[in-house]
């Protein structure tokens, strides 16, 4: 049985992503209130695997999670892309004419803003978690409250789905990374089957430093799928760069890393993994 640490409660999107990524396997899901607690769970037990949301096609990157991943020493061994679908649900005895409030994570409320504009009488209330809102309504039998969450969470907590697929943008996906302690890396990943990697590096504050890195990566036929800059606290106008790239051939990829390493102030390979194709 695999132990997977996630942020959120049963039925949340992290939970759904974990079961999709490890499809058919028996899982022990460790629910954590914060991402810091997720990484803390792995630190306390080297047999725990972390499932971390890293970016959303609408909301963008989760920059704090990049920082936590960089500082954790964990190795990324996989990625999963989850189609984000929202429903609005309530207690079985409630209906549209009895609802007064709708609760959910602020990002979920934002992603359903156009739908909610059709119900101006509903007060939108921000909560910590989509599935957590459904759980609270069910546990405390909150009449007049609705939750926005995945339909699986509504089913899990015995709530009635009033309408499914209420998200404004139907092309809404969240990308998750699977990260493990270094000692678990070999058993979780076949490096030679990997075709994607995430690296982080800092550069000297010099003209053309980033373009030099990108030119070398291009020479080695790597395809950048993402580049993200993060400010370095305490060092004004200096940045850390996180790059996701696709490559062909493990040896050629590591040749590219060796070529750019002398140009960086510090470089860290976050992990190699197989790209998730939808």
pLDDT tops 90 at residue 189: no
DSSP annotation string for 186-244: HHH--GGG--EEEEEEE--S-TTHHHHHHHHHHHTT-EEEEEEEEE-TTSTT-EEEEEE
Supply 59's token pair.
Answer: 């909301």
pLDDT tens per residue across span 121-161:
999 999 999 999 999 999 999 999 999 999 999 999 999 99
pLDDT at 161: 98
So which residues are the catalytic ones?
174, 176
pLDDT tens per residue across span 159-175:
999 999 999 999 999 99
Lowest mean pLDDT among 157-166, 195-204, 205-214: 205-214
pLDDT tops 70 at residue 192: no
Q: How confident is the model at residue 177 (pLDDT cuts 50, 70, 90)?
A: very high
pLDDT tens per residue across span 231-276:
887 777 778 899 999 999 899 999 999 999 999 988 999 999 999 9
pLDDT tens per residue across span 81-127:
999 999 999 999 999 999 999 999 999 999 999 999 999 999 999 99
If one compares 277 and 112, the residue with the highest pLDDT of the two is 112
Are 273 and 189 contacting, i.e. CB atoms less than 8 angstroms apart? yes
Are 201 and 238 contacting, i.e. CB atoms less than 8 angstroms apart? no
Q: How confident is the model at residue 182 (pLDDT cuts 50, 70, 90)?
A: confident
pLDDT at 188: 75
Residue with tokens 């790209």: 275
Are 2 and 42 contacting, i.e. CB atoms less than 8 angstroms apart? no
Rounded to 5°, the CA angle 159-3-155 comes to 10
pLDDT at 234: 77
Q: How confident is the model at residue 205 (pLDDT cuts 50, 70, 90)?
A: confident
Q: Which of 235, 238, 254 is nearest to 203 (CA)?
A: 238
Rounded to 5°, the CA angle 223-226-229 comes to 130
pLDDT tops 90 at residue 186: no
């Amino acid at each position: 049985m695999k132990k997977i640490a996630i942020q959120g409660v049963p039925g949340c999107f992290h939970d759904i992503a974990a079961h999709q990524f490890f499809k058919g396997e028996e899982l022990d899901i460790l629910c954590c209130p914060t991402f810091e607690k997720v990484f803390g769970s792995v630190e306390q037990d080297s047999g725990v695997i972390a499932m971390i949301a890293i970016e959303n096609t609408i909301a963008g990157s989760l920059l704090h999670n990049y920082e936590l991943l960089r500082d954790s020493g964990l190795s990324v061994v996989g990625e999963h892309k989850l189609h984000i679908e929202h429903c609005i649900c309530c207690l079985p005895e409630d209906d549209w004419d009895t609802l007064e409030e709708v609760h959910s994570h602020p990002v979920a409320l934002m992603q359903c803003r156009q739908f909610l504009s059709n119900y101006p009488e509903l007060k939108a209330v921000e909560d910590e978690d989509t599935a957590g809102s459904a759980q609270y309504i069910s546990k405390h039998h909150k009449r007049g409250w609705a939750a926005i969450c995945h339909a699986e969470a509504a089913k899990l907590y015995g709530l009635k789905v009033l309408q499914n697929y209420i998200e404004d943008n139907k092309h809404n996906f969240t990308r998750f990374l699977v990260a493990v302690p270094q000692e678990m890396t070999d058993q979780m990943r076949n490096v030679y089957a990997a075709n994607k990697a995430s690296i982080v590096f800092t550069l000297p504050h010099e003209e053309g430093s980033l373009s030099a890195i990108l030119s070398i990566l291009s020479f080695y036929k790597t395809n950048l799928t993402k580049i993200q800059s993060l400010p370095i606290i305490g060092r004004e106008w200096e940045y850390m760069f996180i790059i996701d790239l696709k490559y062909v051939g493990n040896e050629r990829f590591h040749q590219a890393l060796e070529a750019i390493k002398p140009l960086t102030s510090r470089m860290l390979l976050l992990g190699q993994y197989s790209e998730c194709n939808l």
